[in-house]
Amino acid sequence: MAQPFRLARGGRIDRARPVRFSFNGRTVEGYQGDTVASALLASGIHLVGRSFKYHRPRGILSHGPDEPSALLSVDRGPGRVDPNNRASVVELREGLKTRSQNHWPSLRYDVGAVNDLLSPVFVAGFYYKTFMWPRTFWDRVYEPFIRSAAGLGKAPTEADPDRYANRHAHCDVLIVGAGPAGLAAALAAARTGKRVIVADEGAEPGGSLLHDVTSEIDGRPAAEWLKAALADLDGRENVVLLPRTTAFGYYNHNHVALAERVTDHLPAGAANAPRERLWQVRAGEVVLAGGSHERPLVFADNDRPGILLAESVRVFINRYGVLPGRRIVFATSGASAYVAALDAKRAGADVTLVDLRLEADCGPEPARLRAAGITVLTGHTVVGSTGRSRVAGLLVAPIGSDGRCGRRRRLACDCVGMSGGWTPAVHLFSQSRGKLAYDPALDAFLPGTSAQAERSAGAARGTYDLAACLAEGDAAGAAAAGSAERRPFTATPTPTGFQPVRIMPTDADPAKVRAVVDFQNDVTAKDIKLAVREGFQSIEHVKRYTTTGMATDQGKTSNMNALGIVAGQLDKALPGVGTTTFRPPYTPVTFGALVGPARHALFDPIRTTPIHGWAEAHGALFENVALWRRAWYFPKPGEDLHAAVARECRAVRAGVGIFDASTLGKIEIVGPDAAEFMNRLYINPWAKLEPGRCRYGLMLKEDGYILDDGVVARVSPECFHVTTTTGGAARVLAHMEDYLQTEWPDLQVFLTSTTEQWAVIALQGPRAREVIAPLVEGIDLSPQAFPHMAMRSGTLCGVPTRLFRVSFTGELGFEINVPSDHALAVWEALMEAGRPHGITPYGTETMHVLRAEKGYIIVGQETDGTVTPDDVGLAGMIAKAKRDFVGKRSLARPDVVASGRKQLVGLVTDDPSCVLDEGAQIVADPNQPIPMRMLGHVTSSYWSANCERSIALALVAGGRDLLGQTLHVTTPDGFTTATVAEPVFFDPKGERIHA
Amino acid sequence: MLEARYRTARALPLGRTDAPAPAGAGLPAPAGAGLLIRPAAAEARFSLRLRGPLVAAAGLPLDRPINTVSGDETRWIARLGPDEWLIGAAETDADILAAAAIADLAGRAHALVDVSHRNVGIDVRGAAAAIALNAGCPLDLGDAAFPAGSATRTLFGKAEIVLIRRPGPVPAYRVECWRSFATYVYGLLQEAAFGVGPLERAAAR
């Protein structure tokens, strides 16, 4: 029989659709509608993993997202292998491959289980106590050991081939959870016509109604009510119902993040659909109806496979048609397990129920069970379990009136359902910054004061009775949607009696008992007690010392038990110990969902110029400058960077080079007060700059340090064409707008970014004029009519242009501004026209070398945010007559006017072939004791083909007074010597530029 | 400024509308997604900045509320702020439009800057258009919050865009971004087409 524990009827699985998957290489059969957990149980497989620390055999504890033990590696195909999937939430799919984790060589025979025998060694704080010394053991012994023990499962190594989607959504009411409370809320909110989103983490919406086969709502079986409710919601245009969608993060302003699992449950073939979708919902109001988690009981060997949560036993029976055992003992301190026991009995199991509570405290439930033929032992504790990799018996004992345990007896069984009561899922409420309030009657933290527009309903706020849940959900949904309408509900009463218990009373030596509190991190009750004995009193400290609640399940099943034990040890009331912080995500979220489509080309915008394609086609290599990708150099076959740049550099000075400068930032500054605005922002004077002329502008921050630079042309009396550095474009525009809007709103000036309107082609070299002459119309190119630092409008190749005669190379040069969509055509025409002149395309590296040969600074290379105009020798540009400009007052600061500031100088290495490292430190005497006094550092350094030697720029303390002196510069092996020089290495008189 | 005698037709960064999608733009939108994503043809655009009240310039209304668009597909004006408008027009109308605007604005402090080549248009149409846009745009694009005739500067993924919703029986949006961001914006829209999900989700609106 393929599925010996499958019931003949019942459940929401489809017995007509068998599904095969593999577990540790063995083929297992289940049905459509199963989870991996329910299918494993149907085949009688309980041992599914080894615990984290002690490698104890572990089974399936829960049916839901709180599962701490049954963590499997799931293989959905190449590149689609995930560790740590909870077997209870992975939907069965044909061909799925699953594996257990944390064992070697096999699940059944695990060498690591020796840890269990050594458990007295692995006490709380073991790592802190053990890995202290010797220091030398840290790198090779301790750290590798800790790292290998630091997590379960293996991270995938292949790139994820799946697609992940992102969606922003807005709604009036977001409802988290589609159990009875959530559905009632959804129905109430939906009726108002407002926009409603309902997210439920399950494959099917319904929550507890999916496994409640006995309750009635409004005179109908719960399942029928559910069907009708879903049909109602489905038929409404204003409702989006999202199954398989976990609300995992609650952020400011009702921004709630949901992870929707879109295709994992589908047979392979949904290839182009996203695997998961991240919903970023901004909700007017949020209703939290996420239900509650059942607490395990803490007794010796409570982690043996076959020991489940009581409600989970009920779910496997009623929802999945699986009987987890034939002889089931329920152990409980509350009434909910009685319902599970009745359902198990009805499904054909041999059932016994053990209740810690005294008969008198139990209400009518024991009598109902006995009437159904179930043995009920009230006033009994559980002191242990027997069996090896599957539970074979539960050891119970009566508790006498003196609180002592009576004689033990063994209840033979193959499955245990335990219940220590319920813990409302307040995670999202807590994430929303709402304040929790402890309710002693319910022994639970409940949502207290809200911090955002949200409300909780149902079990999520400690309401467990079905009719009450429905009424509360209805009220919450209606209120959230602004409706005063309320609907009454009638439903079968839910047994809700409960007595809190921390550790089950036992007759054994508590110091020797392994009673697990945190199943995922393998923390036992005695670990927590030890932590308290060692002085930890805050739950936040105990948590970190013992790691309880710190696994990926965030202690859903363990937190209240851990808190209770700490409070008990300290003899404090529970709220006095505090509660731990709930952080997103509620359950683990894939990296893919968080990353979404932001991968590869869509990770960041990659900005390219209109000439990019040409550069690619002509073999350019590229470098990143801000988000731009710029042509770095154009190697010919066989050339490396050095050879290509040397050739490009020579070509520019000997003939003509062509360079794509389109990435330069450009701002059109227009208005009657444009010149005044420029005067206030730049150190230079602008009032007298005539239309058609250019000026190199330097801009400071308020602290007097250089912010940006660039050539500015006055297009007309009221219009300036400003250029900025490539990386500074956005920053400069923001800086300008900031001043304009907040400091000088009276100025009649408008700023418009034209960076991308104009592509810029720099044509540089003695033959530049000859190349463009035949293409230009409407502009007199003669040196007299069109001198250096002038700008003319006209056409080039018939395309309107703003033609700048400017140079960043020291050669005769033009920067041709043309509308971007025409730039490629103009570039190609220039290449054609320049062919007879040996026109050479060059990239940013050559541009850098050529400007360094002339000592032109690059903001961000020669400057670092602490450099003044005088530091780089540009104080002469400051307009003396201006009353003020941004940064002016800071230039009078004592530290700015003091002597000894670092100044820009050239460095000439004694060995002309030695190219200094950029960033290399400079000292006067390399033999001085360490730490040496650093005089400054190299800011730019290149091999200059035109100078036939290395050149370097540096910032050196008092540098201009050191001209001709020898300094020492660090190299990878030590020091080399260099002479301080003027920062101009080529054409010092600057004659070529005026050609 | 603009001359009629261009040497070539404009080389648009996303290619002409009849040309295949540019490299790196991803696969085309899946059929039946209720979505058409198409790069716009070459158009003229101006950024207009102006303070003080004025009813109209070049026949374009300047007195409409912020975040609205007026006009039709051949000539439109979107008010993006108290003193800022984005104007779009057929490319052939550029010179006439600019001349008329300058005449109407004479004597007033203003800036009329040609940004025809800075901006790239992408048209997004279909029942799932808003869902695709919401893959990267965090705004509420529902009919109440962003009805036809709306226009705003916003984000699409990591790029700044201007989003315009045009009137019509089928939802139709114009995305305007800067030239060098066009490949990214277009690529992200194409990718978004795979994530729109079943059309029932249109109920999300």
Question: Is the separation of the CB atoms in A521 and A551 below 8 Å?
Answer: yes
Which phi-psi region, left, alpha or beta, contains residue A183 (left: φ > 0; alpha: ψ -120 to 50)? alpha
How far is the CA of A643 from the CAs of A44, A566, A845, A846, A942, in angstroms?
A: 72, 72, 12, 11, 13
- Residue A605: list chain B partners with CB under 8 A: 157-159, 180-181, 183-185
- Output the pLDDT for position A151: 62
* DSSP label at residue A262: -
Which residues in chain A touch residue B204, judged by CB atoms under 8 angstroms apart? 169, 171, 195, 197, 240
CB contact (8 A) between residue A601 and residue B42: no
Cβ–Cβ of B118/A756 closer than 8 Å?
Answer: yes
pLDDT at position B203: 37
Cβ–Cβ < 8 Å for A445, A437? yes
The long-range contacts involving A397-406, CB below 8 angstroms and separated by at least 24 positions, are A397/A507, A399/A356, A399/A505, A403/A505, A404/A507, A405/A381, A405/A505, A405/A506, A405/A507
What is d(CA A559, CA A444) in angstroms, rounded to the nearest whole number? 11
Q: At what angle do helices A539-546 and A559-570 cross, to 10 degrees?
A: 120
Q: What is the pLDDT of residue B25?
A: 43
Measured over all CA atoms, what is the biggest interatomic distance in chain A, rounded to whole angstroms?
Answer: 115
**Separation of CA A553 from chain center:** 18
Per the DSSP assignment, residues forming a β-bridge with A813 are: A764
Q: How far apart (Å, rounded) are the C-alpha atoms in residues A720 and A686?
A: 10
The β-bridge partners of A694 are A713
Determine if the peptide bond prior to A105 is cis (ω within 30°).
yes
Q: What is the phi/psi pair of residue A959, to 5°?
A: -55, -40
CA distance A523 to A296: 13
For residue B49, give the nearest of A750, A799, A822 by CB distance: A750
Query: The tokens of B61 are what?
Result: 């209304």
Least confident span in A72-81, A473-482, A905-914: A72-81
List C-alpha distances in Å: A805 to A581, A769, A848, A854, A965: 64, 10, 19, 17, 38
Neighbours of A112 (CB within 10 A): 16
Which residues sit opposite B72 in a β-bridge? B75
Task: Give the tens place of pLDDT for each residue, A398-414.
Answer: 998 888 999 999 999 99
Residue A477 has pLDDT above 50, yes or no: yes
CA distance A397 to A835: 100
Using alpha carbons, list the distances in angstroms from residue B110 to A749, A750, A941. Answer: 8, 7, 46
User: Would you say residue B7 has pLDDT above 80?
Assistant: no
DSSP letters, A614-663, are HHHHTT-EEEEETTEEEEEE-PPTT--HHHHHHHHHHHHHHS-EEEE-TT
pLDDT at A988 over 70: yes
pLDDT above 50 (res B22): no
Residue pairs between chains A and B whose CB atoms are closer than 8 Å: 170
pLDDT over threshold 80, residue B23 = no
Q: What pLDDT does residue A724 have?
A: 98
Instruction: ipTM value, please give it.
Output: 0.94
pLDDT at A666 over 80: yes
A197/B194 Cβ within 8 A: no
- Alpha-carbon distances, residue A360 vs A355, A497, A934, B81 (angstroms): 11, 12, 85, 74
Task: Quote the minimal CA–CA distance from B135 to chain A in Å.
Answer: 4
The dihedral through the CA atoms of A679, A681, A683, A686 has a sign that is negative
Q: Tell me whether A168 touches chain B (CB under 8 Å).
A: yes
pLDDT of residue B4: 39
Please state, in angstroms and rounded to a whole number, the distance separating the CA atoms of residues A315 and A208.
Answer: 9
Mean residue pLDDT of chain A comes to 94
Q: Which two tokens stand for residue B51?
A: 């303070």
Looking at residue A898, its amino acid is A
Nearest CA in chain B to A666: B118
Distance CA A106, CA A98 (A): 14
Give me B75's structure tokens: 């000539």
Residue where the block lists tokens 């009136």? A401
> Cβ–Cβ of A608/B30 closer than 8 Å?
no
**Residue A819 sits at the chain B interface (C-beta within 8 Å):** yes
Look at phi and psi of residue A864 and say left if phi exceeds 0, alpha if psi is from -120 to 50, else beta: alpha
Closest CA to A354 of A371, A341, A372: A341
**Residue from A166, A171, A719, A721 whose CB has the most chain B CBs within 10 Å, to mutate:** A166
> Looking at chain A, which residue has its C-alpha nearest residue B180?
A607
Supply the pLDDT for residue A115: 74
Residue A322 per-residue DSSP state: B
DSSP symbols for A702-744 = TTS-EEEEEEEEEEETTEEEEEE-TTTHHHHHHHHHHHHHHT-
Residue A632, Ramachandran bin (φ over 0: left; ψ between -120 and 50: alpha; else beta) = alpha
- Cβ of A748 within 8 Å of Cβ of B51? The answer is yes
Cα–Cα distance list, A52 to A69, A209, A387, A520, A833 (Å): 9, 34, 20, 7, 73
Distance (Å, whole) CA B195 – CA A276:
9
Q: Does B157 contact A238 at a Cβ distance shorter than 8 Å?
A: no
Mean pLDDT of A750-768: 98
Residues of A in Cβ contact (< 8 Å) with B203: 236-240
Residues 6+ apart with CB under 8 A from A222: A209, A212, A213, A215, A216, A466, A491
Q: What is the pTM of this model?
A: 0.93
A715 strand-pairing partners: none
Out of B178, B195, B201, the one facing A274 most closely (by C-beta) is B195
Closest Cβ opposite residue A822 in set B6, B49, B180: B6
Judge: B5–A282 Cβ closer than 8 Å, yes or no.
no
- Residue A510 has a pLDDT of 82
Rg (CA), chain B: 17
In angstroms, the CA B94 to CA B72 distance is: 15
Least confident of A456-465, A526-535, A780-789: A526-535
pLDDT of amino acid A104? 73
pLDDT at A955 over 70: yes
Question: What is the number of residues in chain B?
Answer: 205
Alpha helices in A522-640 (DSSP H): 525-533, 539-546, 559-570, 574-577, 591-595, 612-617
Q: Which residues in chain A touch residue B131, judged by CB atoms under 8 angstroms apart?
A: 167
